[in-house]
Structures are given as C-alpha cells and as structure tokens.
Chains A and B, each alone.
Chain A
Amino acid sequence: MRLVQLLRSATAALICQILRFPRLSYSVNRVLMLAPALHQRLFRLAQESGIDTGLVRRAHPEEAFQPGNTRRRYLTRRGREIAADLLAASQVEGRRNTP
C-alpha cells in the first residue's frame, strides 16, 4: 500500500515537473493521447494530487466554437472572400516555410 502511495507521489511530482515546460508537456501529452486508458489514469492521478486538471487535457480542434454553421457552403459572400484569402495566404506561408 505504501509502495503504491510512493509511486503515486513520484508520478505526481514527475507530472508537475513536466508541466513546468510547456513544449515538453505538450509533446508528452500528445504521445499519451495515443493510449487513452493510460492518459485517463494519469489525468485522474494529477487531479487527485491537486494539480490543475485542466493542464493535462488537450483541446481538440473539433471543440472549436464557431458563430453558426461554418461549412464552406454556408459562408456569406464576405466569408467566402476571406476564406479564399486565408487559404491563399496559408499556401504562401507554407511555401515560405518549406526549405
């Protein structure tokens, strides 16, 4: 029992340390998301250890809030113009970042 307690404390401390480095925590989190059960366990452990539970949940792009339905065919004329501009700009940006 004490060993379990010890392991939990060590894991919680590790989580806390990882969360000090946002990029590292982001990467670790992405890997953990591949094993949802493990992620869930660690998530609960972090919660129970008093670590802000929001820290270890990754926002999924699908959760994105939008004003109304934003499928392309539902865009207003202005919206379609802006979407085209955004796509063009992102392509230019993509090319610029490609060696």
Chain B
Amino acid sequence: MSFTKAVVRNRGEHDVFLALNGLLADSVMPIRREFAGILPSDRIRVWHAPGPVSECLAGNDERRLAAELLREDFLRSLQPDVIHISSLFEGYVDNAVTSIGAHDSTTAVTVSFFDLIPLLHRAQYLDPHPLYERFYTRKLSLIPRASKCLSISAFSANDGRKHLQLPADRFVNVSTAVDTKFRPIEIEPDTKRYTLGRLGIERPFVLYTGGADERKNIAKLVFAYAKLPEELRSKHQLILVGKLPAVETRAIEGAAASAGLTTDEIRLCGYVDDDQLIRLYNLCELFVMPSLYEGFGLPVLEAMRCGAPVIASNSSSLPEVLGCEEALFDPENTDAIRDKMAAVLTSGQFRARLVAHGKRHAARFSWDHTARSALDLWETLPRPKPHFHTSSAVHAELLINRLSRCLTFSGRESAAGLAACLAQNQISGMERQLLIDVSGVMERDSPSAEHRFVVACVREILHHPPAGLRAEPVYAVDGGDYMYAERFAVSSSGVADVSGADRPIRWQRGDVFLGLSTEYDLQVESAELYRRLRDDGVVVRFCVYDLSAVELSEQYEHYDDCHIQRRWLSIVTSCDGAIVLTKTSADVFRNWLDKPPHPVDHRFTITHLRPSVDKPTPARASAPDVQGADLVRVLASRPSFATVSNLEPHRGQAQILDAFELLWSEGFEANLVFIGKPGLGVEELAERIQGNPQLGRRLFWFCDVDDALLDTVYRSSACAVAASLSDGCGLSVLEAASRGLPLILRDIPVYREVAGDHAQYFTGAHGSVIATVVKKWMDRSATSTCPKPYDIALLDEQEFVEGLQARVLGAAFRPRQLLVDVSELVRTDAGAGIQRVVRSILQNWRLYPPEGLRVETVYASQGDIYRYAKHFGSPGARAHKHWQQKGDPIEYAPGDVFLGLDFQPVLVASNRDFFRQMRVQGVEVRFIVYDMLQARMPEYFPAGASTAFMQWLEVVGESDGAVCISESVANEFDAWLRESHEDRSEGFDTQWFHLGADINEPLSDSSMAPPNSPIEKGIDGRKRFLMVGTIEPRKGHTIVLDAFEILWAAGATVELHIVGKQGWLVEALARRIRGHSEFGEKLFWHSRVEDHELEAAYRDATCLIAASEGEGFGLPIVEAARHGLPVIARDIPIFREIAGTCAHYFDVDCPEALAERVRSWICLFEQSRHPRVEGVELLTWRESASQLERALNIARPYPSTRLETVPSRKV
C-alpha cells in the first residue's frame, strides 16, 4: 500500500491504474478510501472471476486458471505499458490471483521481489506442505517471464540472480522503506507506564520483534542473553514481540528454561499493534535482530527510524540495511551476540553512536525514493509492440476457447457465472471499439475517389489507432446487420490474409461507430441497428460526402437515388453527428436542416474536417482494355483532359463532352478522358459517348478503373476538368491536385473553398463556355501563366485522422451513465408528490441532459434485479401507467452514477448488496431524501412503515451521498447520520436542492377541459381557506378543524376546504369531517381532485393553511405562491426555509390560539397588510433539475472523459 501510494504521488505524467481483484471484494472499499484524493476513482478498477480460487483448496485449479485468463484479459484492456505485480506469491490461502503470460504475452510485467526464503529453506517451508510446494514452485516458474524483478535489497537481487539463474539485469534493487509513523516520539509518563505495565515490562529492556521461524534464530538470542553478566541481566529484560504460534512459544520458553532464564528475565508479549510497537522501539535500550536470513529486515529499519540502537547479524541483507560494521555479529555464535549486546548495554558512547548512525542511515530509505526508482525503471522498458490487427471477435474467440478448455461446465448456469464476470470486466475495462463502416468499399468493385479516401483513412487508423480505441472495419450486409471486415482489415494492415468467415459485430457503451464510407441501400436498411447502437450507448456518426440530393433537389426529384439519399440523410440526422469535408458542405447541410420538416436528434452535430487525399498508390493491376504503355503513348500524343467522377447528371460530363466536340470540330487537338461508372439518368450521355466517332481516338471512357489505370491517366494528362453543379468535398479535385495536375473547375463554392485561386474557373451551362476556358488554358499553359495546383493546401490522411480524433472521437469517450431509479413510477403512477418530482426532473433531464452523461431510467421489482427502463417517460413512449416492458439488466462501469430519485424503500433495502457491488465497481450511489418524518415521528405512520423507512435509510447511510429536497431535511439527515453512524458521517456527502414549480406553465394539461374549481361550491363573499395534502395525522387537520369550529361558533364567515385523499390513521377524523354539521356548508373535503381542479382551487381560495408538523419541502406553499395565494403556516424550519417572511406563522398547539391567529390574519388581510407571497422564491423544474445536477456534482470533469489527460504511459 505504501509503495503504491508513493508511486501514485510520484507518477508525474504517467497514468497509474490500480487493478483490484473482485474476489477480494472486502478490500476494495478500504483501498478506495486510502486513495481518495490522490488518485481519481476511475483509476481504480475491479475485475471479476468466478471463485474460490485459492490453491490450498483442492478443486480450484480450473477456476484459478480461468481467473488468471480473465485477469490478464482485463489488464490488457486497460492498455498499460507496464503491469506491476506487487506480490506474486499470493493466492495460496486466499482468492488472490497472480500470473504472467497466461493470456497476454505482449505487455511488460514487473514484480516486486522480496526473497527466496521457502526455496532456500525447503525442509522448513516446502517439504512438510506438498500443496504449498506446488503453489510456490508454480509461482517461482513465473519469475523468468517477468521483464524485471524489483528487489527490496541488493542482497535479495543477488540471491535471485544466483538461485534462479536469470540474467543479472533482470533484478534491480529499488529497496524498500517503512511508514513515516515509525519515528522518535515523546511518550507521556502515564502512557509509558501503561504500555510497559500491560506487557509486564518492569526494567529497561532488549527488544526483538518478528516471527519465530527457525531462521529467525531466536533460540541463539535467548542463549546469548542468558550468557550476559548477571549484573546486566538483573537490570534488563529480554522482550520478544510478535504473533507466535503456541508450538513456537513453547519452544522459546523451553530454550529460556534450559538457558536458565527466569520468566521475569524474558517476556513473550505476543502481538502488539503499530502504536505500541512504535512506543517499544522508542523505549528499548537495544534492538537485536539475530536472524540468519532476511530479504530486507524491516524491523531493523523501523527500530533505527525510532531512534533505537540496533545490532544485527552479519548475514543476508541485514548488513546492507543496518549499514554499520561495528553493530554486526555472527548469528551462529552466542558469545558474539552476547558480547555485542553487552557492549551496547554498558557503553553509553557506543549506544549513542548507534543511535546517531541509525537515524542517519534510516533516512536513506523512503517510499518516495523506492517509487522513483521503480518509475525510472519502468520508463526504460519497451512499450508493447503493436501487433498485427486482430479483430475484437477473433480476440474474444481466443479467450472463450481458452476458458472453455479450462472450465468444465456443469450446465448453462455455470457458463452464465463466467459470462457475468467477463461481461463486467469488459464494461469496466478501458477498451473501446471504433467501428469503421467500410460498406461502400466492400460493395463496390470500382474504386471512386471516396473509395480511395476511405481505404487510405482506414489504413492510417489501423496503423495509428486513436488513443483508447481499437479500430474495427465493419460492413453492412443484407438484413440490416453488420459484420467485422476481418479480411479487409488484415489486408489493409499489410499482413497475411486470415481464413474463416467474417463475424457479426458486437458492441458496448462507449464504442464509436463511424460511417466512413457510404452505401445508401444497405445503410438505410440498417437504420434499426443504428438505433440499437445508440440505445446501448454507442456514438454513431457518418461522413457525408455528397449533398446533391439536398442541394439540387429540383433536378434530382425524379430519381430514386435522390430519395434514398434523403432517407439516408434523415437516418444520419437522427444519430449523433455528421462529418463533412468542406465548410461549404457544412453550410449547405445546416441550411437544409433548418428547413422543416427535418427531425434532428438533439445530440446531432455537424463537424467540418478538411479532406485528405491519398498519396499515389502502387499499381495493383493493369487496365482491362487499354494496356498501360499504349495508354500513356496515346494520352501523351496530345493534351489530355481528365474528368474523374461517376457519370451523373449533376456532374456536368455532358457539358464537357459538348465542349470537346466543339473543340474537335474546330480542329483542336486534345484528348478527353472520362473515368467513372454511369449512374442514373445518364443513359443518353452514355449512348453519346459509346457512339462517338472519337471514342478510342480522342475520347476515352473507363468505367472500371483500378489504382494503376488511374495513376496512368493522372500521370499522362495535362489537366483535370470538373464541371459538377454540386460536390460535397471535391475529393477528385484534391486527388488531381495532389498529383500536380492543373485544374479547370466550375465556379461553385466547394471548388473555390478547396482550390482557391489555384484553378481556372468557368460559369455557365453551355459547352462553348468550357471550350473557351480550355483554349484559354492552353494558351496560358504555353506561356506557363496558368494557375498551378501546387499551392493548394492538401492534408494527408494522417492529419485527417488526427482531426477526427481531436474533434470527433475525443468527445465520444465512454459516456457515463446517470442511472435514475424510477421503480415506483414504473409500477404505478399515483400522482403523488414524489412521483410528480420524478416525472418533472426526468422530463427536464431528457430535454437538457447533464453534460457528458447518458440519463438512463432504471427500475427494480420484487424478486428481480435492476433493469433498464429504456425510453420510459420519453416522448413517444407508451403512457407510463401501462409501461410494462421488461428491460435488460443494467450494466455499470466506474464513473457511473446511480440516483435513487424515486422512493421505494422496500426494493432499495432488498437491493442493499447490489448497491455495495456497484460502489465496489466505482459507481457512485446517491439517494434523494424527501423527508425524515418516519424517523423523526414514527407515531404518525402505520405500524411497519417506519421499519421499511429505517431500512431504506440504512442503505442511504452507507451510500456515497444523499441529496435532500431542502436544507431542513439535509440538517435532519446529517443529525441522524451523526447520531446513528458516526463512523460513516465522515466522507458522506449531504447536499440539498429545492423542488420546482413551473410558473409559466399551467399545472394541468392544456388539452383538458377548462378548470372546474371545487371551491366554487361555496358561497361568494366568504373567505375560503384551503388545506392541500393527503390527510395524515401530522398534517394538522384536527387542530385546524377545531379552530374553525371556534370561528364558526363565533359567527365568522369562513369556509374550510380540505383537498387531499384520506391517508392512514385518520379514520376518526374522516368520520368527524363527513358527519360534521357544517359539512357541505362551510366545511368541504375534496378527496379526488385532478391537477387542473387543484389549480383552480388555488386560484379561487383566499388563503392556504399549511398546518403540518413536519414536511420535506412544502410544495403547497410554493404552488400557492405561484398563484399569489396568501399563506398561514405552522412555524417549522422547512416552512421558514421556503416562505421566509412571506407567510403568516403560528406556533401554537391549542385551537383557540390558532383561531385567534386566523382572526388576526383576516384583520390584516382586510387591511391589505397581510404577508405577501410574491417574495417566495419560485424555481422552474428546469432550474430545480439544474440545482439537483449541481448537488450531485456529476458535471465535474472526469478523467476518462478527456483525451488530453491520457498520458503517454500507463502503469
């Protein structure tokens, strides 16, 4: 722990991850707490495997091997440069798992190397325990696979080299250290007396601490001590501290007895905690370490740090740790031990010298020094070599096959257990896929400029994948599915082909789908898949190259291509974003989107990235009809003009042909080369070309071209001509420019943007226009004054991919989930206050989602686990009352937040373990606390209700935090936490926010009938007092009714309107109301009131009485304020918090006094001097949702959401 903390402290630019074993779940939260504040919580990741796996238990072998595979696969997914194992020899008695090279042989692994004690003392440690021997030997065999062994001393490093016969540089001494709490301390006399008295220490003492194994040589120490002069022994005691098994205790006692020591002279104190040990180090006269073999000898360093004089044996690492020749003795010689002890105990000077040396020498050992040495070493290790592309599917299959070999499945449920672990590891890991759609490339056999662009980009991405992403080319197939383009990827990587069929794609939250190439038919068919991808948290973006169907809609209206392109665009706009290659296209796209009807997803963005152009590629094959050399000869015989793009009406090829026919008729010597397949609507043009007498002489048309032919044409041509009326990005123009070909272009914004002043432009639709420009260009060419394309700013594909990463992929780092619990609302919407809060907050978060978070509604039901309630409550979803769709179980990852927004105490309490698991995994769990009434006033609730509430509160208390709906509730909650769980209150985060009330929107649905006020049943002229809320004992209905009886008896013309359902424990009150003599005259009870009726009641009442003895918030006061309705309120903290000075308060418990307060309010009201509610602060639900968001602190920067925080190396 200390070493790891020091590494974290000294990490500098490095990124450090702690990978914890989920099989040791109890240790996770303490470790998280230890590193809180020094390491972001998402840098602590937990992996899972089925257990138990301890080697001392027979029958664990298969599970342990599986655990090793799962662990290494998980560590690989973190994409570290170095993996360090702090303790390799673990997992014999517990479920620790360590391995090297079981599944991942590419990442460098280092281990902390302590000693070879069991190997060098076989008879003692290995021979009696065959299973342990097997375990030890197996672990020992892993050491040669480690890149480096970080030894704790030079001695242990030498030992490793010598006994394991490994290269000398494999072991590096980084030393070790002890906690800084081991230091000289002032000890109060009382504390000293207490410490020594408890341990039976009566005189100055010689101290030993440690184990009692044979190699510790305690017997020799005892005999040596017995040989001390009696005078010395009578003034001292030998104190042995440490946890000693009974057998060894008996052996030491036997040795002491045979050496003639009395029980007064030697004390075996057993285990003492660190605080006591530090005091003993500080108080001892001498510390002796007689051990025959140590890897380091930590007690020596601890004692020296505490200022004790230390002597030690001259064997193993101890001389190195002690660093003082005169303090050493021969551990095999009791006389030598005795002499050295006597020297210290009798010579003050020697003792002082040892103390001074100890302090000086101990200062050389520190965790920071050790950590820096380790970091220096890790920096020298080679990074994992990028190996050839293996798709996720292939990689997963490899792991699955290995797992299936080492696990014998007894049934489907066993496989489910392993699958659950692997699935959790994958979502908790760091690996994400960049699914690059190459459908167009896979489908079409004739490469276009887009095709070449896509291929170049994929090649670049595969060779230099964006940080944290695994690039996976994929392609659409019939039926709307996608497959991994494994063979395409491998061939693009430049390695041998792979066999076998391509596999269907898999995905998870945080992956990115990039529609790099277009294939309208198949992609339109895959619309449902894109929706599923987005539902599962995959960011889906498309590159848009062609907007002709939008830009030239009138010309294109009658072509099928136009319709399918528009359908495709509407699918694109329902996703996360589009990438266009020119600013002009971006403007065209935005203008089109601004015009209705184009439903666009609120997350949709348009990103403009400069296009890149592939460099000329080596020839793959020769042209099918005209051989390369012949073509070069023909094209070189006269000036050749190339136009590269599929034949389509808006591409302007007909106008170019007109121009050249004109030129040829004038005897102008020039070639015209068309490269591209015929599209729709160019049948006439195709016939014209095919029947043209110049075809094969001056006119050439290549439908199917490969790179070689294209290269030949570009090399042999004098100029490129582009007459498109619309072009998404001018890829073909850039392609020609990149080959140094001069350009004649139609004057459209895209070409102006791409080529600037470095091209000859023309306008007009007639062939003569182009003919004139061609002639002019020829004239200028002869004098070398025509625009040169060399100055056109070209980007290469590397820059494009970098732009893609910086502006498109970076923002799409694995989105965190905000899992909002709606368990009660899903089950039934009773329209209660809490459910109105849940609905309102959710509605606002759907419209204005917290930045960087995916709001996911989730629910649990009795006997089931938490599941997604996808689309619950979103527009278009079925009414929540009938929402019964069973969702997928939720998956969660570090950084996610679970918010118990709804109130379902029983379900929350029954999922206590589940919340613990989520927190272990790094998910923040928080709950909304609506009130503390059932804890504060349980007598007002039905029997059993408070029990469920208290169980719920316990779960809340052990979560990460609570967000209360008012400051008053927050204070009450904190008080409860302090009182009930003092240990938990530290680090627990209590926040509060206020509920909203949309003042600009009616409470009721505007589509409903005009509000019909229930209060209108009264007689005009009377003052109408309103009470709103379920009738419960705490609400104060009884005292208010009593007060009004007094008022009515006194002849006051007042009405009391009670709005609310009958709650619990109020049967007598309900009977009293219904049987009241004024019922229906001056006393009214409206038990079934719709929202719009309540709104009318607020409008028509004279005053609201809020008489409740306890509330979480006091929504009726806010609603009354919203309608300008004055308020008489009980003087309790929450009403003061909400209404401040804007209410008339009463603080009385007798009806007469309340009646008097109501009378006084009526007097004030009649004089218009009553408190006005206009000063009550009203929040909209949007503001309330924002307050809650701030209270949750979920918008804070999160390390994994920012690419720039991913440094160059990970440990």
Complex Cα distance, B408 from A86, in Å, reads 11
Contact of B409 among A50, A82, A90 (CB under 8 A): A90
Query: Residue B891 at the A interface, CB < 8 A?
Result: yes
Known: A65-B95, A66-B50, A83-B412. A78 touches B426 (CB 8 A): yes
A67 contacts which chain B residues (CB < 8 A)?
Answer: 22, 48, 420-421, 424, 917, 921
Is A2 at the interface (CB under 8 A from chain B)?
Answer: no
Beyond A58-B58, A59-B59, A72-B413, whether A86 also contacts B889 by CB under 8 A is no
Decide yes or no: A93 and B404 within 8 Å by CB, A65-B95, A67-B420, A78-B427 being known contacts: yes
Given known A-B contacts A55-B131, A86-B404, A89-B401, A66 and B417 have beta carbons under 8 A apart: yes
Q: CB within 8 Å of A: which of B867-898?
A: 888-891
Q: What is the predominant secondary structure among interface residues of chain A facing chain B?
A: helix
Chain B: minimal CB distance from A86 (Å): 4
List CB contacts (< 8 Å) of B455-514 with chain A: 506, 508
Asked if residues B416 and A72 are in contact (CB atoms below 8 Å), the reply is yes
- Is the pair A59, B57 in contact by a Cβ cutoff of 8 Å? yes
Q: A21-B130, A71-B413 are in contact. Are A66 and B420 (CB under 8 A)?
A: yes
Residue B386 at the chain A interface, CB threshold 8 Å: no
The answer to whether the Cβ of B258 comes within 8 Å of any Cβ in the partner chain is no
A41 at the interface (CB under 8 A from B): no
Interface presence of B18 (CB below 8 A): no
Do residues A68 and B865 form an inter-chain contact, with CB atoms below 8 A?
Answer: yes
Q: Which partner residue on chain A sits nearest B404 by CB separation?
A: A89
Taken together as a complex, chains A and B put the C-alpha atoms of A6 and B58 apart, in Å, by 28
Selected from B50, B128, B247, the residue in CB contact (under 8 A) with A64 is B50
User: Which of A57, A59, A72, A82 lies in contact with B422, CB distance below 8 A?
Assistant: A82
**A99: which B residues are within 8 A, CB to CB?**
none
B407 contacts which chain A residues (CB < 8 A)?
86, 90
CA–CA, A74 to B891, complex, Å? 11
Task: Given A67-B48, A76-B423, A76-B891, verify A55-B129 contact (CB < 8 Å).
Answer: yes
Which residues of the other chain, A, contact B427 by a CB distance below 8 angstroms? 78
Question: Closest approach, in angstroms, between the C-beta of B404 and any C-beta of chain A?
Answer: 4
CA of A92 to CA of B400, assembled, Å: 12
The listed residue with most A CB atoms (<10 A of its CB), out of B59, B93, B128, B132, is B59
Digit string of A37-76 for contact with B (CB within 8 Å is 1, else 0)? 0000000000000111011111111011111111110111
Tell whether A86 pairs with B130 under 8 Å between CB atoms, given A54-B93, A76-B423, A79-B420: no
Residue of B132, B397, B422 ringed by the most chain A CB atoms within 10 A = B422
Given known A-B contacts A75-B889, A86-B404, A89-B401, A68 and B130 have beta carbons under 8 A apart: no
Q: Is B1067 an interface residue (CB 8 A)?
A: no
Is the CB–CB distance between A87 and B409 below 8 Å?
Answer: yes
A64 to B396, CA, bound (A): 23
CA distance A32 to B93 in the complex (A): 22
Instruction: Give the distance in Å from the alpha carbon of A58 to the alpha carbon of B400 in the complex.
Output: 26
Q: Which residues of B contact A65 (CB under 8 A)?
A: 22-23, 25, 50-52, 95
Q: A50-B247, A74-B889 given as contacts; is B404 within 8 A of A57 (CB)?
A: no
A60–B404 CA distance with the chains assembled, in angstroms: 19
A1-54 residues with Cβ-Cβ distance < 8 A to B are 16, 19-22, 25-26, 29, 50-52, 54
Contacts of A69 in B (CB 8 A): 865
Q: Taking A21-B130, A81-B506, A86-B409 as contacts, is the C-beta distance between A54 and B401 under 8 angstroms? A: no
Bitwise interface map of B from 45 to 67 toward A, beta carbon under 8 Å scored 1, else 0: 00010111010111110010000
The reply to whether A75 and B419 form a contact with Cβ atoms under 8 Å apart is: yes
Residue from the list B95, B416, B891 in contact with A78, Cβ < 8 A: B891
Contacts of B422 in A (CB 8 A): 79, 82
List of A residues within 8 angstroms of B412 by Cβ: 72, 83, 87
Would you call A82 and B129 a contact (CB within 8 A)?
A: no
In the complex, chain A residues whose CB is within 8 Å of the CB of B917: 67-68
Q: Give the distance in Å from the alpha carbon of A1 to the alpha carbon of B57 in the complex.
A: 33
Q: Is the CB of B414 within 8 A of A82?
A: no
Q: Is the CB of A64 within 8 A of B417?
A: yes
Q: Which of A25, A66, A74, A75 has the most CB of B within 10 A?
A: A66
Most buried by B among A25, A75, A92: A75
Q: Which of A25, A55, A79, A89 contacts B416 (CB 8 A)?
A: A79
**A86 to B412 Cα, complex, angstroms:** 9
CA distance A48 to B130 in the complex (A): 18
- Complex CA distance for A67 and B536, rounded to whole angstroms: 21
Q: Are A85 and B56 in contact (CB under 8 A)?
A: no
Known: A54-B54, A69-B865, A86-B409. A75 touches B404 (CB 8 A): no
Give the shortest distance, in Å, between B99 (CB) and chain A (any CB). Answer: 18
Chain A interface size, as a band, is 35 or more
Please indicate the chain B residues that have their CB under 8 angstroms from the CB of A79 in the complex.
416, 419-420, 422-424, 889
- Give the Cβ gap from B499 to chain A, nearest Cβ, in Å: 17
Interface members, chain B 387-430 (any A CB < 8 Å): 396-397, 400-401, 403-405, 407, 409-410, 412-424, 426-427
* A86 pairs with B403, CB closer than 8 A: yes
The reply to whether A87 and B130 form a contact with Cβ atoms under 8 Å apart is no
Within 8 Å by CB of B415, from A25, A60, A78, A83, lies A83
Is the beta-carbon distance between B416 and A83 smaller than 8 angstroms? yes
Contacting pair A54 B57 (CB below 8 A): yes
Q: How far is the CA of A70 from the CA of B412 in the complex (A)?
A: 11
Closest to B920 in A: A67
The residues of A that contact B890 with a CB separation of less than 8 Å are 76
Residue of B nearest to A18 (CB): B130
1/0 per position for B242-255, CB-CB distance to A under 8 A? 00000100000000
* Chain A residue at minimum C-beta to C-beta distance from B427: A78
Pairwise interchain contact A89-B93, C-beta atoms closer than 8 A:
no
B914 within 8 A of A: yes
Once the chains bind, are B421 and A61 in contact (CB under 8 Å)? Answer: no
Residue of B nearest to A29 (CB): B58
- List chain A residues, Cβ under 8 A from B404: 86, 89-90, 92-93
- CB–CB B59/A89 < 8 A: no
A54, B888: Cα distance in complex, Å: 40
Instruction: Using A26-B59, A59-B58, A93-B404 as known contacts, say yes or no to A78 and B508 having CB atoms under 8 A apart.
Output: yes
B741: min CB distance to chain A, Å: 50
**Are A77 and B536 within 8 A (Cβ)?**
yes
Residues of B within 8 A of A61 (CB): 59, 410, 414
Contact with A along B787-799 (1 / 0, CB 8 A): 0000000000000
Bound CA span A21–B133, Å = 11
The answer to whether B52 and A59 have CB atoms under 8 Å apart is yes
The smallest beta-carbon distance between B428 and chain A, in angstroms, is: 10
Counting chain B CB atoms within 10 Å of each CB, the highest count among A57, A58, A68, A75 belongs to A68
Contact of A75 among B60, B416, B506 (CB under 8 A): B416
Name the distance in Å between B432's Cβ and chain A's nearest Cβ.
13
Cβ of A55: which chain B residues have Cβ within 8 Å of it? 56, 58, 129-131
Contact partners of A19 in chain B: CB under 8 A: 129-131
Chain A residues whose C-beta falls within 8 Å of the C-beta of B58 in the assembled complex:
22, 25-26, 29, 55-59
| Distance of A82 Cα from B416 Cα, bound (Å) | 8
Contact between A89 and B420, CB atoms less than 8 A apart: no
Contact A75-B420, Cβ < 8 Å, known A20-B130, A26-B58: yes
Decide if B134 is an interface residue (CB 8 Å cutoff).
yes
Can you list 17 pairs linking A and B with CB atoms under 8 Å apart?
A21-B130, A25-B130, A58-B57, A65-B23, A67-B424, A68-B424, A72-B413, A74-B889, A75-B416, A78-B426, A78-B508, A79-B423, A82-B396, A83-B419, A87-B415, A90-B409, A93-B401
B interface residues, Cβ below 8 angstroms from A: 22-23, 25, 48, 50-52, 54, 56-60, 63, 93, 95, 128-132, 134, 247, 396-397, 400-401, 403-405, 407, 409-410, 412-424, 426-427, 506, 508, 536, 865, 888-891, 914, 917, 921
Given contacts A25-B58, A55-B56, A66-B420, 18 further A-B contacts (CB under 8 A): A16-B130, A21-B130, A25-B130, A26-B58, A26-B59, A51-B129, A52-B131, A65-B22, A70-B416, A74-B420, A74-B865, A76-B420, A78-B427, A78-B891, A79-B416, A86-B419, A89-B401, A92-B404
- Listed from nearest, the 7 A-B pairs whose CB atoms lie closest are A54-B56, A83-B419, A89-B404, A79-B423, A20-B130, A65-B51, A82-B419
